[in-house]
Amino acid sequence: MKAPLHWQESTWHRVLPIVLIFWLSASLVLDFLVMPVMYTSGMMAESHFVLAGQALFGAFNRMELLLGAIVCVGFWIKQQTPEIERESLFRNIPIAALLLGIAVLYTYLVTPAMSGLGFMEEATGIVPAEMTTMHAFYWTLECVKLFGLSLLFSRDFRLFH
């Protein structure tokens, strides 16, 4: 099977922007709709909130791992196009790898640590001081992720559409 000569001939030409916009919009919905609604409805004060949060973020984190892998592969495949079509792609691959790294951090560090702190809070009734640090770490990573996704989407759209 012969590889396409131009990016527009590839299926990835359509897949990559769809994955990027899905990931960006899903993150925005989770951060600015789902979590605030859970907070204002009082669900965070319920005894099983930590389990619900762990299940929600655990599932979302695994979806982000898949999306991050697809984005990395998509930009790697895009790198194989003729040189005239890939002028700034070398800058996109590290950003895609960073986004995958953030998904890995969320899945294997942030969510388990915050869940553990949440269980500790549930048991003692005292919010651990580390929870504030973890929230700051989460929001820092989230801002980097949202910026990176927006940047990759705008570059992908501008370069090849």
Predicted pLDDT of residue 30: 96
Residue ranges of domains in the chain: 11-160
How far is it, in rounded angstroms, from Cα 138 to Cα 52? 18
Q: Given a cut of 80, is residue 21 above it in pLDDT?
A: yes
- Furthest C-alpha separation in the chain: 62
pLDDT of 7-17, one tens digit each? 566 788 889 99
Q: Given a cut of 70, is residue 65 above it in pLDDT?
A: yes
Helix axes 49-78, 111-124, angle to 10 degrees: 170
Predicted pLDDT of residue 101: 98
pLDDT of 72-125, one tens digit each? 999 888 877 766 455 566 788 999 999 999 999 999 999 999 999 999 988 888
Predicted pLDDT of residue 6: 61
Q: Given a cut of 80, is residue 142 above it in pLDDT?
A: yes
Predicted pLDDT of residue 144: 98
Q: Given a cut of 80, is residue 23 above it in pLDDT?
A: yes
